[in-house]
């Protein structure tokens, strides 16, 4: 028997999965990259132009402002999602009936489509019929209804509020699982040792949930970096181009301006940025040695 026969058999077993990945990831990515090197239009035609589209992106001020806005959005919403999700987990991790029910309610919006929830919140924030303005006016917090989506800052926060409502339950569920998996005797030992509730949270629960927190942060950051639906529906990128995200600008170029080649180049750039960011985070936070 040849020595690497086993290796060959192993490869054969892995083949279906490899083919699957090749067909669904590698091939489209290659295709995307190739398109980014051309001046392809959505209407057809176009020729090979090398790195022309990348050069164009470098000089495109809206590309930069969209990337900046995307980073700003990510930077704002991630702490809200992580901090809020963890607080909710701390409040609801016990398995009493009320807390299980509350957990279910918090998680429920997760199963609604993002477009649906964005539309829902669009109307909740509406400056004529939306209840949010009415409540704020009634509470005397504002004098007149706000036109949330005509201001970039207000629009950003309206989106952050709506997305938080929609996805915070995801982190909460993962954090609840992490907190529940902490040995009850460890918690009891820390109580006997005299740790107050917040000392326990800071010195026992948080450190022992690190893994879930890092994983959830990664998922959340990547999700925020490719944000599109919520802005498409709620702000339409406005006012002007102030709330264009990277993906929105890519969509705008590809399907509104018909510049598929340029849109592909933008997609490739964003993919590379996210990949580098994610890889850095994973490398920095890889569990070192034994716990």
Partner 1 sequence: MQHVEIENVHKSFGSVEVIKGIDLSVAKGQFCALLGPSGCGKSTLLRMIAGLEAVSSGKVFVNGADVTNTHPAKRQIAMVFQSYALYPHMTVRQNISFSLDVAGRPKPEAAQRTEEVARILQLTDFLDRKPAQLSGGQRQRVAIGRALVRSPEVFLFDEPLSNLDAMLRVQMRFELAKLHEELATTMIYVTHDQIEAMTLASKIVVLDAGTISQVGTPLELYNQPANKFVAGFIGSPQMNFLKGRMETVAGREVRLELAGSGSVAILARGGVEDLKPGELEIGIRPEHIRPCNPGDAEANLSGRVELVEHLGNSTVLYVSTGSGRLVVQRSDDLSIRTGDTIGLAVDASRAHVFGADQRAI
Which residue in 161, 195, 222, 274 binds partner 1 (CB under 8 A)? Answer: 195
Number of residues that bind partner 1 (CB under 8 A): 19
Q: Is 185 among the residues that bind partner 1 (CB under 8 A)?
A: yes
Nearer to partner 1, 204 or 267 (CB): 204
Shortest Å, Cβ 291 to partner 1: 5
Which residue in 190, 271, 281, 285 binds partner 1 (CB under 8 A)? Answer: 190
Nearer to partner 1, 202 or 240 (CB): 202
Q: Is 280 among the residues that bind partner 1 (CB under 8 A)?
A: no
Nearer to partner 1, 59 or 290 (CB): 290
Shortest Å, Cβ 180 to partner 1: 16
- Calpha distance 186→257 (Å, rounded): 60
Helix 260-285, helix 210-225: angle, nearest 10: 170
Q: Is 199 among the residues that bind partner 1 (CB under 8 A)?
A: yes
For residue 105, is it left (φ>0), alpha (ψ between -120 and 50) or beta?
Answer: alpha
Q: Is 287 among the residues that bind partner 1 (CB under 8 A)?
A: no
Separation in Å, CA 82 to CA 77, 143, 168, 170, 245: 9, 33, 8, 10, 21
Q: Longest Cα pair distance anywhere in the chain, in angstroms?
A: 85
Q: Is 192 among the residues that bind partner 1 (CB under 8 A)?
A: yes
Q: Is 204 among the residues that bind partner 1 (CB under 8 A)?
A: yes
Which residue in 43, 183, 283, 284 binds partner 1 (CB under 8 A)? Answer: 183
Catalog residues that contact partner 1 under the rule CB under 8 A.
Answer: 183, 185-186, 188-196, 199, 203-204, 207-208, 290-291
């Amino acid at each position: 028997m040849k020595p690497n026969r086993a290796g060959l058999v192993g490869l054969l077993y892995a083949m279906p999965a490899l083919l699957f990945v090749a067909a669904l990831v590698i091939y489209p990515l290659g295709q995307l990259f190739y398109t980014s090197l051309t001046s392809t239009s959505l209407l057809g035609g176009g020729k090979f132009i090398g790195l022309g589209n990348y050069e164009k992106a470098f000089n495109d001020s809206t590309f930069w402002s969209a990337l900046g806005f995307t980073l700003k959005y990510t930077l704002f919403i991630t702490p809200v999602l992580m901090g809020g999700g963890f607080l909710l987990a701390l409040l609801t991790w016990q398995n009493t009936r009320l807390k299980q029910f509350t957990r279910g309610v918090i998680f429920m919006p997760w199963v609604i489509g993002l477009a649906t929830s964005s539309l829902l919140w669009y109307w909740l924030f509406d400056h004529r019929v939306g209840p949010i303005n009415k409540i704020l006016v009634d509470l005397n917090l504002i004098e007149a209804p706000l036109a949330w989506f005509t201001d970039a800052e207000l629009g950003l926060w309206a989106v952050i509020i709506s997305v938080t409502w929609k996805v915070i339950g995801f982190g909460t569920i993962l954090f609840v699982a992490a907190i529940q998996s902490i040995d009850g005797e460890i918690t009891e030992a820390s109580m006997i040792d005299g740790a107050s509730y917040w000392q326990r949270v800071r010195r026992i629960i948080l450190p022992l949930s690190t893994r879930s927190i890092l994983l959830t942060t990664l998922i959340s950051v990547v999700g925020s970096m490719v944000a599109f639906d919520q802005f498409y529906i709620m702000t339409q990128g406005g006012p002007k181009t102030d709330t264009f995200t990277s993906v929105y600008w890519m969509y705008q170029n590809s399907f509104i301006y018909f510049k598929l080649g340029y849109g592909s180049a933008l997609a490739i750039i964003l993919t590379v940025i996210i990949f580098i960011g994610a890889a850095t985070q994973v490398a920095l936070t890889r569990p070192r040695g034994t716990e």
